[in-house]
Structure 1
Amino acid sequence: MPAPPVVAALAFLAAGLGTLGGLGGAVLLVPVLVLLGVDPVEAAPLGLMVAGAGSLAAARPQLESGLVHHRLGITLETTASTGVLVGALLSQALSATTLSRVLAVVALASAVTAGRRKGMRNRPHPSFDGEVAGEWPGTLAGAYQADGGVVPYSARRVPAALGAMVGAGVVSGLAGVGGGFIKTPIMSELMHVPVKVAAATSTFTTGFTAATGLVIFAAQGRIDAHAGAAVVVGGLLGGLVGAAVQHRLSPPKVRVAISVLLAAVAVVLLVRA
């Protein structure tokens, strides 16, 4: 295990980038730790810790920005958490090589999906000028403030997304990642939720995903307290920075950043495997 300051620095970078793109941070931290010689069994809980810390740190800035859709996030998390429990319980039955390959394939597929579309699907609508941005109570719809005006949106294909979230949860539990790198494309590409809203909502739900997986990992005795403390400190700071920058970027730039990060993660995992 690297020294605590090194672990904290890695967690800071992972949480910052993870919050920025709605990835959750763990999908970036876990492969790096494994490349540095950390056993995947030990790296997985640290990944969930940085994901949870980043989610907690980003909560207030994202709430103030009006990007998080809480009803949508909780709705999707009901099935994602079920998948996390299954994945965490099965995680010790698979080899590190198998886990790396599974994660690489999913990350690469998500990168292609998020990066293939250009421009903005959701556009400002003149009839919503003057409206307050945010989620619309009692619905899976809302609006957010873009440079050109207020952009309305409404989540689509909810049943299909709920099923896909089970798979995202299983991968999260197996590899010790928050699942944001899968959740964000599910919301933005399958449900047609604006990518900035999808990324912010994904970061919000990542805290629940991480907490669910950590309960299982703690019961299995897989948590390193010293490394965990360093990860939480770095993750909290990184999450704050990522959330502060997130709302200043345009959706296409955020989408490109997500695709590049996912592709890089996939390559690293495949090389390691």
Structure 2
Amino acid sequence: MVFGAEASVVLLAFFSALVGSMLGVGGGFVFVPVSVGIMGFRPFVAVPASLSLVLSNAFSATLTRLMKKAFNLRPNLWLILPASGLSVLGALTSARLEAPVFKIMFGTFLLGSSLLLLKTRGEQEQGHSRGFAGRRLVVVVAAGFISSLLGVGGGLLMVPGFILLSKMSSRESVAVSQFITGFTSATGLATYLLQGSFFPSLYGSAFAGGLLGGFVGSRIQIGLSEKQLKTAISLGFSAIGLWMLLSPLL
């Protein structure tokens, strides 16, 4: 029975990471609702398991992009500290979260962001200039908090935030988002472990599935054109937004 649960977690983590790495998010938006709503895991178990898959997904996807020279690491190193710091606060306050209200607000945000992304035209300006540094900081701080609060990695905020506020290209936004989620998920997971959420077999299964899914998904994402990637992000975020809006009613 335990082996069956672990095998199911590996498969779910693989699929979650596959989809997540293509969209620049961790994959927790798939893993958490399925593991809690269908597999019957408690949130105290499901969220850190999700962060385990997000961590391995981010590592695998970022390594793949670096090996293919599809990502410039150095300009984004300064974003790690502010994002990771707020992820601790998110993990500590997750028990007080009023999920239905938050899902409605967050779902509305995602739907609005996806509509704005569909309206943009052409390659976005690369956002390494100092004028966009403050906006990037706001995005990663908010994403770090959300990451450990819901176990979703933070990419749900970072990808549209980077594209709309920092004028990054869709491709760069996906790569930077996935790089940062590796650190936010690691910090959040450590905080959960310190609070007593310790289920190593499930976390290891989620980590293994996320590692393979991130490798496959990132290779697919690298081959997509800018237009295809932006369309995939918009459609994916629309689906996530609709789920968040409707899930409190189900």
| 1:51 counterpart (48, 54, 57) | 54
Moved more, 99-108 or 54-63: 99-108
> Equivalent residue for 1:235?
210
Q: Is the 2:16–2:30 Cα contact (8 Å) retained in structure 1?
A: yes
Amino acid at match of 1:42: V
C-alpha distance in structure 1 between counterparts of 2:174 and 2:66, whole Å? 13
3-state SS of 1:31 partner: helix
Deviation of 1:217 after TM superposition, in Å, equals: 0.6
Query: 2:107 aligned with 1:104, yes or no?
Result: yes
Query: CA shift at 1:103, angstroms?
Result: 4.2
> Residues 41-120 of structure 1: matches in 2 within 5 Å?
41-120=44-123
Question: Structure 1 length normalisation: TM-score?
Answer: 0.81
Unaligned runs of 5+ in 1: 124-139, 142-153
SS of 2:26's partner is: coil
Closer, same or farther in 2 for the Cα pair 1:196/1:225, shift >3 Å?
same
- Report the Cα distance in structure 1 between the residues aligned to 2:192 and 2:37, rounded to whole angstroms: 21
The aligned residue for residue 223 of structure 2 is: 248
Identity of aligned residues (%): 31
Kept in 2: contact 1:31–1:265 (CA 8 A): no
| Alpha-carbon distance in 2 for matches of 1:40, 1:101 | 19
What SS class does the counterpart of residue 159 from structure 2 fall into? Answer: helix
Who is 1:166 aligned against?
141
Amino acid paired to 1:13: F
* 235-244 or 63-72, which deviates more: 63-72
The answer to whether the 8 Å contact 2:27/2:54 transfers is yes
Q: 1:87 to 1:253 in 2, by over 3 A?
A: same
Could you say what secondary structure the match of 1:245 adopts? helix
Counterpart amino acid of 1:220? Answer: Q
User: Which structure: greater strand fraction?
Assistant: 1
CA displacement at 1:157 relative to structure 2: 1.6
Amino acid at match of 1:53: S
Which of the residues 200, 204, 209 maps onto 2:175?
200
Structure 1 position 122, deviation (Å) = 4.8
Equivalent residue for 1:191, pick from 166, 185, 199: 166
Write the deviation string for residues 52-108 of structure 1: whole angstroms up to 9, x where unpaired: 011111232200233323233322222211221111111112244345445434433
Higher fraction of helix: 2
CA contact (8 A) 1:156 1:190 kept: no
Change (3 A) 1:121 1:100: closer
Rounded to whole Å, the distance in 2 between the matches of 1:69 and 1:8 is 30
Describe the shift of the 1:97–1:43 C-alpha distance in structure 2 as closer, same or farther (beyond 3 A): farther
Aligned residues: 245
SS at match of 1:3: helix
**Alpha-carbon distance, 1:242 to partner:** 1.0
Deviations 1:92-127 (A, max 9, x none): 12244345445434433443343332343359xxxx
- 1:223–1:260: structure 2 CA closer, same or farther, 3 Å change rule? farther
Given that 2:66 and 2:72 are in contact with CA atoms closer than 8 Å, whether structure 1 keeps it comes out as no
Partner of 1:214: 189
**CA RMSD, Structure 1 to Structure 2 (Å):** 2.3
- Give the direction of change, closer, same or farther, for the CA distance of 1:49–1:102 in structure 2 (3 Å limit): farther
